[in-house]
Chains A and B, each alone.
Chain A
Amino acid sequence: MIGAWLAEMGGPLLSGPPSYLRSTETETEMNQHVAAELADPIRIQPAGPDDVVRLVDLKRRFGATAALDGVSLTVRKGEILGIIGRSGAGKSTLIRCLNGLERPDSGQVLIEGREISRLGERDLQPLRRRIGMVFQHFNLLSAKTVEDNVALPLKIEGLPRAERLARAAELLQLVGLSEKAKAYPASLSGGQKQRVGIARALAARPALLLSDEATSALDPETTRSILALLKDINARLGLTILLITHEMEVIRSIADRVAVIDAGRIVEEGAVWQVFANPKSEITRSLLGGIRPQLPPEIASRLLPGEGAETILRIDVAGEAARRPLLSELSARVPGPFRLVHGGIDHVQQQPVGTLFVAIPGSDALHLAAVIAFLKDRGARTEVLGHVAGSV
């Protein structure tokens, strides 16, 4: 920066920036980069040409708390990546780093291969036009009509009014709000406001759409329609979407991949159905709690570790294993009664993901071992939860 300033000053004595300023700067940057690559195995991924976003060891502190504590993440072209976490996990800070609304203390933010975290405001402005953003509270301008709100990014870009309005009309058509073009946002419902917000975010034909809890202020039905709209835009325009949410339902409905963030770190990452089928971290399990079958509390409270009239098993199946006639094969191969207590099969990304709670009467250890061996052989994760005294 000093070098650039000196260069700008020109003058006979300072015909260029001193060479030591330039070389040391780049060298330290390179060294930091190399050191970072070596320090963490997650980061040694080849940077694909299809990566729209690449975050490398992002750190950001607010006072004593680390909002981001070394986040590395990649968003591929055309995918919907969902980032989920509890409030205060660092989601908002993370998404705001992607368009420079927030600056990381260290680490890199690469958008379409370009490092942006150290760019000045002026250089960020054209880049932000390549990134659309949708907000939880819509953030529509109350003094502007719907079409003027949608056209605002184009006004900022410097397009003539006629062109702006034509594009706004196109986008309002896309989100199904053509008849509201001349209305003011205050007269719209929450769902309609968010549709306007989405249209506005798409106005400048962005390469990436950021969604900051876009459905958190909406009722379930409206949430579904907004998510369907985002999914549709992703499919039709091939637009890359990064969304943050605290609701697993959102991830389940539209995301291709999910990253779970907790205390500023990505604790789990993978295809949505795989994370649903086999959550590795405690926080993921807890976030999934609301939408995956759980052992009913009245049974859970009666579980004993030792022996009892019935043994309660938890069986998790997903993908291929869940497509087979698991239970009928079980009763054919390992004869003996069992009954289904609770559970179900869900379909996530067209993949079956099931959790079954089964009660097996009697305390025959051999029989139990045979059942478990069979289930494991069939690719089902099986866990003995405990025993209950009487029948449940």
Chain B
Amino acid sequence: MSPVLFELLLRSIWETVLMTGASGLISLVFGLPLGLALVATDRGGIAESLWANRILGAIINGFRSVPFIILLVALIPVTRLIVGTSIGTWAAIVPLSIAATPYYARIAEVSLREVDHGLIEAALAMGGNRWTIIREVLVPEALPGIVAGFTVTLVTLVGASAMAGAIGAGGLGDLAIRYGYQRFETSVMVAVVVVLIVLVCGIQWLGDRLVARLDHRG
């Protein structure tokens, strides 16, 4: 592989890490509260409101049912509004975040729903309010699942970021298509695949380690 290509590879790794990291963080910040809202407003939840639950669920399902490549293009006006341009790595972070947030909300919802209702009842019996229940019961008890779900989301984002090349965001996927596939640079293709495997394994390993440390359920 030529030094030029090697430099391209390094830049693409950085772009992928940036896109995955930034959109992952955003999906965590918005997805977790959404997941909490889904659980809290559901039947028997701490802030039961079935119509709110249905509306929220419908919006989340709507975003989740649009294929990412279409969302990428459809969101161009929104992207332009937020980052000022519709091209480049930062421009890709907007649709990636918008796709990952509802995805992560659903994953967080599953973990939060698994928290034993008896624990919520115990906190209520102690005189706790909703905020107490969220802070002391729901989030800490579901934390292993919340972290494991975040790991899954990050890995999914690594894959999704490959499509972001379509709007000139760069990244490893883009490199593999333009050089590895269209220019028959097999070495680039192999390098990209190896880097992606290492990246995904690394994320998963870190996530698993963190979950093991957080999980005290015995």
Contacts and interface: CB of A to CB of B under 8 A. Distances in A.
Interface in A33-83: none
Given A144-B140, A184-B216, A184-B218, A139 B127 contact: no
A152 interface: yes
Contacts of A122: 129
B216 A142 contact: yes
Given A143-B143, A184-B216, A184-B218, A125 B128 contact: yes
B116 A156 contact: no
Interface in A119-134: 121-122, 124-129, 131, 133
Interface in B113-160: 116, 118-119, 121-129, 132, 136-137, 140-141, 143
A172 B216 CA distance: 20
Contacts of B123: 152, 156
Given A126-B127, A128-B125, A129-B126, A137 B136 contact: no
Contacts of B136: 141, 144, 152, 155-156
A14 interface: no
B121 A156 contact: no
Nearest to A154: B126
Contacts of A21: none
Q: Is the interface of B mostly helix, strand, loop or mixed?
A: helix
B124, B126, B129: residue with the most chain A Cβ atoms closer than 10 Å: B126
B121 A139 contact: yes
Interface in B74-132: 116, 118-119, 121-129, 132
B106 to A, nearest CB: 22
B183 interface: no
Interface size class of A (residues with CB under 8 A): 20 to 34
Contacts of A338: none
B216 A143 contact: yes
A109 interface: no
A299 interface: no
A152 B118 contact: no
A143 B141 contact: yes
A157 interface: yes
Interface in A178-211: 184-187, 200, 204, 210
A101 interface: yes
B216 A99 contact: no
Interface size class of B (residues with CB under 8 A): 20 to 34
B218 A187 contact: yes
Nearest to B125: A133
B218 A186 contact: yes
Nearest to A155: B136
A101 B126 CA distance: 11
B32 to A, nearest CB: 16
A131 B125 contact: yes
Interface string B53-86: 0000000000000000000000000000000000
B132 A139 contact: no
A135 interface: yes
Given A141-B137, A142-B216, A125 B121 contact: no
Interface string A101-128: 1000000000000000000011011111
Contacts of A126: 127
B216 to A, nearest CB: 4
Contact of A121 (B122, B129, B214, B217): B129
A141 B140 contact: yes
A149 B141 CA distance: 12
Given A139-B118, A141-B119, A152 B216 contact: no
B141 A141 contact: yes
A152 B141 contact: no
B200 to A, nearest CB: 28
A152 B119 CA distance: 12
A128 B217 contact: no
Contact of A129 (B127, B137, B141): B127
A246 to B, nearest CB: 18
Nearest to A131: B125
A128 B121 contact: no
Contacts of B140: 141, 143-144
Contacts of B125: 99, 101, 128, 131, 133, 210
Ordered nearest first, which 4 A-B pairs have the shortest CB separation? A186-B218, A139-B122, A128-B127, A143-B140
Given A139-B118, A141-B141, A186-B218, 6 more contacts: A125-B129, A135-B121, A141-B122, A156-B132, A156-B136, A204-B127
Interface of A: 99, 101, 121-122, 124-129, 131, 133, 135, 137, 139-144, 152-153, 155-157, 184-187, 200, 204, 210
Interface of B: 116, 118-119, 121-129, 132, 136-137, 140-141, 143, 214, 216-218
12 contacts: A124-B127, A126-B127, A128-B126, A133-B122, A137-B118, A139-B116, A142-B141, A143-B141, A144-B136, A152-B136, A156-B127, A156-B132
